[in-house]
Amino acid sequence: MVPARYEKRMPLLQETILLSDRQLRQTIADLKAIEKASFGSRRRFAFVAYLGAVYTFYELLRRKRVAKSSAHRIAKRFGIRTQERTHPIRIIIDATSAATDAKMKSRWTRALRFAWRQRHQWNDLQEIWREYHGPAGAAARWSALRSRLPLGSVETGGKCLVPRIQLLADVEPLKPDELFVKDGRVFRRPDVSAADNSNHVQTNEGATREMPQRKGV
């Protein structure tokens, strides 16, 4: 929750659409005040009030479909260095937080991005913090989601879909208990009569299959 003395600032966060530089500066100033109040508290997880305010602002921008354009304005107005792939949440955090730990800001960004991704599964931001043991747990979940998808695959309905790749050759599978090694060569049971000096593997049908020579044998 936001500290009581700053609750009166929240309507601006809920109504502003960044129509002017004045509104933009005021919104960022309010977020800075909330961040300062949150970190001024001695409570262990007081900073979640600040993250809640950042999420509220980002949610507004997304619903108005101006998140990217507004983030670019914020970065330009406050001299924030960004890259093409810098997420709007990270830009908002960089503009409003006095924290100097880049890793911590990155963790906050991942946590809020995961919260936005799961927004249809909870009614209050505190629910997702409780379910995933705080912002750190939510950030870890986001990282896991981003890293577990194979290159070129897609995800839908919580399932990872990967195109089926055909085998290069149709080879009869061999079971471990059907094979044995003798004199550095591999033979298949039970047709092992030529095992002593053969480079072939006998099959049950009597046909032979050439086995490659090992290097150094």
pLDDT tens digit sequence for 161-189: 555 455 455 556 666 677 777 777 777 77
Q: Domain of residue 203: give its range.
A: 176-210
Q: 56 lies in a domain?
A: yes
16 and 71, same domain (yes or no): yes
Residue with tokens 């961040």: 35
29 and 88, same domain (yes or no): yes
- Tens of pLDDT, residue by residue over 120-163, are 988 888 899 999 999 999 999 999 888 765 544 554 444 455 55
126 and 187, same domain (yes or no): no
143 and 111, same domain (yes or no): yes
pTM: 0.60
